[in-house]
């Protein structure tokens, strides 16, 4: 008999629970009686962990109770008088309460189901000795047969409970156990429950009771959400047309339509496209189309989500119906009376803009482009805060007017200090991009954000031509609207199109920019809307490139002074949103203006310092970031004259005060980052503040280390807990780069740390957190470059740790360690003695890095680690310059990898060192050319192209074109200051030509593009 057949007679076959389980659930439900609650927890744990039999029987009794709570009168009759008397004696208060009102049984049954679910998914560890195949000492408890068979039957039956709350619990228990990835309950997993899917299918297709159908459909939905890949293909193919029938009109029940839509979406989201869905796809789309005008907003929302899912995963199935789908989505996006529907519809447009060229056909682009005149105003209306949002924001504005607003700050993350890691770390400055549309909405994804992001994406995809004709009239109307909330949305739209329409907006920007500055110039008052000022500040930042261009061209030379004056004034406002928005936008302006900011630095610094004591939370974080941006983009001018005396003491005072209260306060991270940039840029002008900075940074390292070591096991659970240490090390590194050789005098002048600096530093190179080690090796390399005297006494220990960290598993640590070793080699000159004790291990590691960075042996799945090959090639060259014999003996093992790495180096000094070392190593072991590869011509070609790379611009696209296109000719001359190296490389190529068989050289020459042969002939006289 199948589970579903048993369902029909289940009410008479499922036994009643015993008194013990009723009392147990009652006590666990009664948290008010602490003693009884604790006793119940102990009783539950004892029953669950006693033996496999007691565990299984308790789970079964809980399922009996879950079913019984749906019809308590029948259950109590079936219990018998003895069990009822026992229950009344054990838990009289719960028994009386439940028997007085039937509605109390529903939460009681839910509690029984929750206890059952937790017992099944988080079972205790068995202490029972193994007995046959059923038990395993030390493993998790599991339901054993034949109890598991009975439990399955009861759970399937519970899907037909009259109460939807109980059906929901049963469906959740079935779904989570049947498709759990770890099969924590083997007998309940789908593999051992072959009748599950046939039973569910029969419930859905058999025209049974509504309760059974709804409970089953919700169960299927949850199975699809938790693990559709666990369902057998034949069962999945049978299920799809059954699900489709629930979304094909006429289907009166909202819950069934929603559950079926969710199930289909969950399946597709896992990348599963069942064969039966392909066959019935037109029926599926027809069902979605039929629900487009469903009276339920929730149904329409899931229709939109279904179409978006198809667009992402199966664009080819959407394309034939694109025109009709776009019309529906346009209507749904305009349904702002139901924001959830409008949001899911708006996701369609944002998703469309992210499709790649292969998925998005010209026809699809045309369909959407034709809708833009209608769609753009709809998106603009979607950016207006709703009435409920406005009411909430006005309340927040009132709260912000208080002296100490309570602000929830997003987590603060430290920006890692990487050394020469290629272009892949260039997105570090984009950390604030996610804040574009969320000034007042936190992390919640809303219709306003989605509309703005969609307009931004459309502007980038289509450009100004299709966007501006419909947007500009709507903007003009919105910006002049008397409702400030409509103005706010229009300003947001203006900022959203900045990237895609900057050039085309130029004729309008003179007027619009003054409009924005007018909004920002409005003094703070109860009548002014902070949100309008905030979004105006953000939009001015978005057009900073245009404004600075106006200043540079002399068209509007006053703009920078005007913006500085207005933004500095607005930074003094009390509203935290205005503070944060103005500070952030001003940082963007500083990035664009660079040294044009120099005339205004003193008032800027004075106002930023004045704002520090008033700022809190996010505003303070952005203020620190702005000071760092000024250092990075304005340059040494921030360290001239009395300027450092204006802002550095204030930063140090705030640092000391905050660190005394809590050295782990993450607000300190951007503060230390900004000080690091300032110290580096100011150079020797930072000297008056260097000792206090150094001592405070060292104190931070000590304090946070002690806090982390005070945990119970002395281990660090979250690497981010060590971020204050990382920042402090990076700040010391900033001092090294700024003070140069004077850093050694700084360390000697510290009464607290002159004797301990190297021991603390050495500990950082061995720290358990990779981020700390990464920064420590960056500091090691900079000390070797700038102030090597500091390292002398500890160099062997530090070099040993650097070699030990040449493990690409921690890519950034490895990169910095390689780079640091190369800098140490530079300081050694021609004295190999400091290196020799570690030479064998160093060579073994460097060879592995040069040969294995992109072959899968790096632990990064075959992906090349940015910068690692280049750093390794430079370090190998520098090691060869110290002593060629350390490198030359193994040269044949890594010669080709070395050539590849050298060709990628962009730093001029490191590149020169790498090639100089390569020349001396190859002269020391010329036979390596013959031994490096079975293909002599391949080895020679690698060497020649490494040398040719000196003549190719760094842009990778240009390099590929020039090496593969015989007609391309954009070679650049060898750097004028490297004449000696060029001559050495030319001689090396002639030596290679003369040292290999002539037929091999001819083969190499014939394989080269014509333009490369011409370069070698004209520059190096190499035929």
Whether 959 shows a pLDDT value over 60: the answer reads: no
Whether 437 shows a pLDDT value over 90: the answer reads: no
Question: C-alpha distances in angstroms, 1018 versus 965, 993, 1012, 1015, 1023?
Answer: 19, 16, 10, 5, 9
CB 209 within 8 A of CB 160: yes
Least confident among 390-399, 431-440, 851-860, 940-949 = 431-440
CB 48 within 8 A of CB 58: yes
Least confident among 168-177, 277-286, 535-544, 956-965 = 956-965
Tokens of 121: 């998914």
What residue has token string 């910006």? 479
Question: C-alpha distances in angstroms, 584 versus 444, 550, 580, 1015?
Answer: 21, 21, 6, 50
Question: What average pLDDT does the segment 1004-1013 reach?
Answer: 88
CB 717 within 8 A of CB 710: no
- Of these ranges, 467-471, 808-812, 953-957, the one predicted with the greatest mean pLDDT is 467-471
State the pLDDT at residue 128: 54
Question: C-alpha distances in angstroms, 198 versus 3, 174, 205?
Answer: 9, 14, 10
Asked if omega into 304 is within 30° of 0 (cis), the reply is no
pLDDT digits (tens, 9 = 90+) for 11-24: 447 899 999 889 88
b/e code 116-137 from CB counts within 10 Å (16+ = b): bbebbeebeebebeeeeeebee
Whose CA is closest to 765, among 836, 816, 720, 708? 816
CB 902 within 8 A of CB 918: yes
Give the contacts of 271 (CB within 8 A, at least 6 positions apart).
Answer: 313
CA distance linking residue 515 with residue 1000, whole number of Å = 72
- % of the chain at pLDDT higher than 70: 90
CB 25 within 8 A of CB 111: yes
Q: Quote the Cα angle for 710-714-719, to 5°.
A: 100
Question: What average pLDDT does the segment 282-301 reach?
Answer: 92
E strand segments, 732-870: none
CA distance linking residue 142 with residue 134, whole number of Å = 9
E strand segments, 172-282: none
Least confident among 29-33, 121-125, 841-845 = 29-33
CB 508 within 8 A of CB 554: no
Beta bridge mates, 125: 140
What residue has token string 């509309």? 451
Alpha helices in 543-636 (DSSP H): 544-553, 559-570, 576-593, 601-611, 617-634
pLDDT digits (tens, 9 = 90+) for 133-163: 444 455 788 999 999 999 999 999 999 999 9
Give the alpha-carbon dihedral of 355, 356, 358, 359, to 10 degrees.
-10
Give the contacts of 696 (CB within 8 A, at least 6 positions apart).
Answer: 652, 655, 656, 659
CB 447 within 8 A of CB 454: no
What residue has token string 């998914």? 121
Whether 636 shows a pLDDT value over 80: the answer reads: yes
Question: 299 exposed, middle or buried (CB, 10 Å; 0-12, 13-18, 19+)?
Answer: buried
Q: Quote the Cα angle for 57-63-65, to 5°.
A: 105
Residues in the chain: 1023
CB 20 within 8 A of CB 112: no
CA distance linking residue 206 with residue 160, whole number of Å = 14
Whose CA is closest to 952, among 940, 965, 939? 965
pTM > 0.75: yes or no: yes
CA distance linking residue 434 with residue 427, whole number of Å = 13
State the pLDDT at residue 526: 75
State the pLDDT at residue 427: 39
Beta bridge mates, 140: 125
CA distance linking residue 980 with residue 628, whole number of Å = 41
Whether 524 shows a pLDDT value over 70: the answer reads: yes
Provide the 8-state DSSP code for 489. Answer: H
pLDDT digits (tens, 9 = 90+) for 337-373: 999 999 999 999 999 999 998 889 899 999 999 999 9
CA distance linking residue 140 with residue 123, whole number of Å = 6
Q: Is the backbone of residue 416 left (phi > 0), alpha (psi -120 to 50) or beta?
A: beta
What residue has token string 């391309």? 968
CA distance linking residue 725 with residue 745, whole number of Å = 23
Backbone angles phi, psi at 140, to 5 degrees: -70, 150
CB 135 within 8 A of CB 126: yes
Give the contacts of 865 (CB within 8 A, at least 6 positions apart).
Answer: 808, 811, 814, 815, 853, 858
Question: C-alpha distances in angstroms, 637 versus 586, 597, 631, 644, 646?
Answer: 18, 9, 9, 10, 13
Whether 819 shows a pLDDT value over 50: the answer reads: yes
b/e code 863-890 from CB counts within 10 Å (16+ = b): eebbbbbbbbbbbbbbbbbbbbebbbeb
Give the contacts of 185 (CB within 8 A, at least 6 positions apart).
Answer: 120, 121, 123, 142, 143, 148, 177
Question: What average pLDDT does the segment 854-865 reach?
Answer: 47
State the pLDDT at residue 428: 39
State the pLDDT at residue 402: 65
Give the contacts of 105 (CB within 8 A, at least 6 positions apart).
Answer: 69, 70, 72, 98
pLDDT digits (tens, 9 = 90+) for 849-859: 998 754 444 44
CA distance linking residue 1023 with residue 1015, whole number of Å = 10
Whose CA is closest to 659, among 644, 669, 674? 669
The 3-class SS string of 436-463 reads CCCCCCCCCCCHHHHHHHHHHHHHHHHC
CA distance linking residue 791 with residue 783, whole number of Å = 7
Rg (CA), the chain: 35
Give the contacts of 18 (CB within 8 A, at least 6 positions apart).
Answer: 61, 79, 83
Residue 359: strand, helix, or coil = coil
b/e code 670-682 from CB counts within 10 Å (16+ = b): bbbbbbbbbbbbb
Beta bridge mates, 553: none
CB 821 within 8 A of CB 804: no
Whether 791 shows a pLDDT value over 90: the answer reads: yes
Whether 56 shows a pLDDT value over 80: the answer reads: yes
CB 118 within 8 A of CB 126: no
pLDDT digits (tens, 9 = 90+) for 405-427: 444 445 455 566 666 554 444 33
State the pLDDT at residue 523: 84
Q: Tally Cβ neighbours within 10 Å of residue 414.
A: 20
Whether 197 shows a pLDDT value over 50: the answer reads: yes
Output the CA torsion sign for 268, 273, 277, 281. Answer: positive
Q: Tally Cβ neighbours within 10 Å of residue 508.
A: 15
Least confident among 37-41, 247-251, 349-353, 494-498 = 37-41
State the pLDDT at residue 439: 54
Backbone angles phi, psi at 604, to 5 degrees: -60, -50
498-521 and 544-553 helices, crossing angle to 10°: 80
pLDDT digits (tens, 9 = 90+) for 215-233: 999 999 999 998 888 899 9
Which helix or strand (DSSP H or E) is residue 570 part of? helix 559-570
Q: What is the mean pLDDT of the chain?
A: 88
Least confident among 288-297, 581-590, 844-853 = 844-853
Tokens of 828: 């050694």
State the pLDDT at residue 854: 44
> Residue 941's pLDDT band (boundaries 50, 70, 90)?
very high
Backbone angles phi, psi at 734, to 5 degrees: -60, -40
CB 156 within 8 A of CB 202: no
């Amino acid at each position: 008999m199948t589970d579903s057949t048993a369902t029909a007679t289940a009410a008479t076959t499922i036994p009643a629970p015993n008194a013990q389980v009723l009392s147990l659930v009652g006590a666990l439900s009664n948290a008010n009686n602490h003693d009884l609650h604790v006793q119940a927890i102990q009783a539950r744990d004892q029953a669950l962990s006693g033996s496999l039999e007691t565990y299984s029987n308790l789970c079964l009794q809980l399922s009996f109770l879950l079913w019984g709570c749906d019809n308590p009168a029948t259950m109590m009759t079936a219990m018998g008088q003895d069990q009822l008397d026992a229950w009344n004696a054990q838990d009289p208060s719960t028994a009386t309460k439940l028997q007085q009102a039937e509605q109390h049984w529903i939460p009681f049954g839910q509690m029984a189901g929750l206890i059952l679910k937790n017992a099944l998914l988080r079972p205790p560890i068995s202490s029972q000795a193994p007995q046959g195949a059923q038990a395993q000492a030390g493993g998790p408890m599991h339901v054993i047969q034949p109890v598991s068979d009975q439990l399955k039957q009861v759970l399937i039956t519970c899907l037909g409970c009259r109460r939807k709350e109980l059906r929901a619990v049963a469906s959740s228990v079935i779904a989570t156990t049947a498709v759990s990835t770890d099969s924590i309950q083997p007998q309940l997993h789908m593999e051992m429950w072959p009748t599950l899917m046939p039973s569910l299918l029969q419930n859905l297709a058999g025209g049974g009771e509504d309760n059974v159908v709804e409970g089953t459909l919700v169960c299927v939905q949850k199975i699809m959400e938790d693990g559709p890949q666990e369902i057998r293909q034949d069962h999945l193919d049978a299920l799809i047309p059954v699900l489709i029938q629930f979304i094909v009109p006429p289907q009166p029940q909202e819950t069934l339509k929603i559950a079926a839509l969710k199930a289909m979406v969950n399946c597709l989201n896992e990348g599963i496209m069942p064969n039966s869905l392909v066959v019935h796809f037109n029926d599926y789309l027809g069902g979605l189309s039929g629900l487009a005008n469903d009276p339920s907003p929730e149904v329409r929302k899931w229709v939109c989500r279904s179409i978006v899912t198809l667009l992402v995963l199966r664009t080819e199935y959407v394309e034939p119906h694109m025109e009709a789908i776009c019309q529906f989505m346009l209507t749904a996006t305009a349904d702002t009376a139901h924001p959830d529907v409008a949001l899911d519809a708006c996701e369609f447009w944002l998703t469309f803009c992210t499709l790649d060229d292969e998925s998005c056909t010209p026809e699809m682009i045309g369909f959407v482009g034709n809708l833009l005149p209608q769609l753009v105003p709809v998106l603009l209306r979607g950016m207006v805060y709703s009435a409920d949002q406005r009411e909430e924001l006005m309340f927040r504005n009132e709260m912000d007017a208080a002296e100490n607003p309570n602000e929830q700050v997003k987590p603060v993350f430290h920006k890692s200090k990487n050394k020469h890691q290629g272009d892949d770390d260039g997105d570090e400055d984009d950390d604030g991009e996610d804040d574009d549309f969320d000034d007042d909405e936190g992390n919640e994804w809303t219709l306003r954000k989605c509309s703005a992001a969609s307009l931004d994406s459309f502007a980038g995809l289509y450009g100004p031509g299709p966007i501006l004709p419909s947007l500009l009239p709507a903007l003009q109307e919105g910006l002049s609207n008397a409702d400030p909330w409509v103005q706010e949305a229009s300003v947001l739209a203006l900022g959203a199109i900045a990237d895609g329409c900057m050039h085309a907006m130029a004729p309008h920007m003179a007027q619009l920019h003054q409009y924005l500055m007018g909004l920002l110039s409005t003094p703070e008052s109860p009548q002014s809307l902070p949100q309008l000022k905030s979004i105006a500040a953000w939009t001015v930042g978005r057009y900073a490139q245009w404004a600075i261009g106006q200043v540079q061209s002399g068209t509007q030379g006053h703009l920078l002074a005007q913006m500085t004056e207005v933004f500095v004034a607005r930074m003094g406002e009390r509203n935290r949103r205005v503070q944060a928005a103005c500070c952030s936008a001003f940082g963007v302006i500083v990035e664009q203006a660079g040294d044009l900011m120099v005339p205004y630095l003193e008032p800027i610094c004075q106002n930023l310092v004045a704002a520090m004591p008033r700022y809190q939370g996010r505003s303070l974080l952005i203020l620190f970031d702005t000071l760092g941006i000024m250092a990075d983009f304005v340059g040494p001018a921030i360290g001239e004259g009395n300027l450092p005396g204006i802002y550095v003491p204030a930063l140090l005072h705030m640092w000391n005060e905050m660190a005394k209260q809590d050295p782990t306060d993450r607000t300190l991270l951007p503060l230390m980052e900004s000080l690091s940039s300032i110290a580096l840029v100011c150079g020797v002008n930072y000297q008056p503040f260097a000792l206090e900075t150094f001592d405070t940074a060292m104190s931070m390292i000590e304090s946070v280390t002690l806090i982390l070591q005070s945990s119970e096991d002395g281990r660090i659970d979250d690497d981010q807990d060590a971020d204050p240490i990382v920042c402090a090390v990076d700040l010391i590194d900033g001092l090294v780069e700024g003070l140069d050789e004077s850093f050694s005098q700084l360390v000697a002048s510290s009464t607290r740390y002159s004797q301990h600096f190297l021991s603390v530093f050495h500990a950082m190179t061995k720290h358990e957190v990779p981020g700390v080690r990464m920064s420590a090796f960056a500091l090691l390399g900079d000390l070797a470059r700038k102030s090597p005297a500091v390292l002398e006494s500890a160099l062997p220990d530090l070099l040993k740790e650097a070699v030990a960290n040449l493990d690409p598993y921690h890519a950034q640590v490895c990169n910095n360690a390689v780079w640091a070793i190369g800098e140490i080699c530079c300081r050694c000159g021609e004295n190999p003695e400091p290196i020799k004790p570690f030479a064998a291990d160093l060579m073994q590691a460097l060879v592995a890095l040069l040969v294995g960075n992109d072959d899968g042996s790096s632990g990064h799945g075959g992906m090349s680690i940015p910068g690692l090959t280049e750093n390794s090639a430079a370090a190998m060259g520098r090691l060869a310059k110290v002593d060629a014999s350390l490198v030359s003996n193994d040269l044949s093992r890594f010669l080709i990898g070395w050539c590849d790495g050298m060709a990628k180096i962009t730093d001029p000094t490191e590149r020169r060192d790498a090639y100089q070392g390569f020349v001396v190593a190859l002269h020391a072991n010329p036979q390596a050319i013959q031994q490096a590869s079975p293909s002599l011509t391949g080895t020679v070609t690698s060497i020649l192209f490494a040398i040719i790379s000196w003549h190719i611009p760094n842009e990778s696209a240009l390099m590929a074109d020039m090496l593969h296109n015989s007609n391309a000719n954009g070679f650049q001359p060898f750097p004028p200051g490297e004449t000696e190296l060029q001559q050495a490389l030319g001689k090396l190529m002639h030596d290679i030509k003369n040292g290999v068989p002539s037929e091999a050289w001819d083969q190499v020459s014939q394989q080269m593009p014509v333009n490369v042969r011409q370069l070698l002939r004209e520059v190096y006289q190499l035929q």
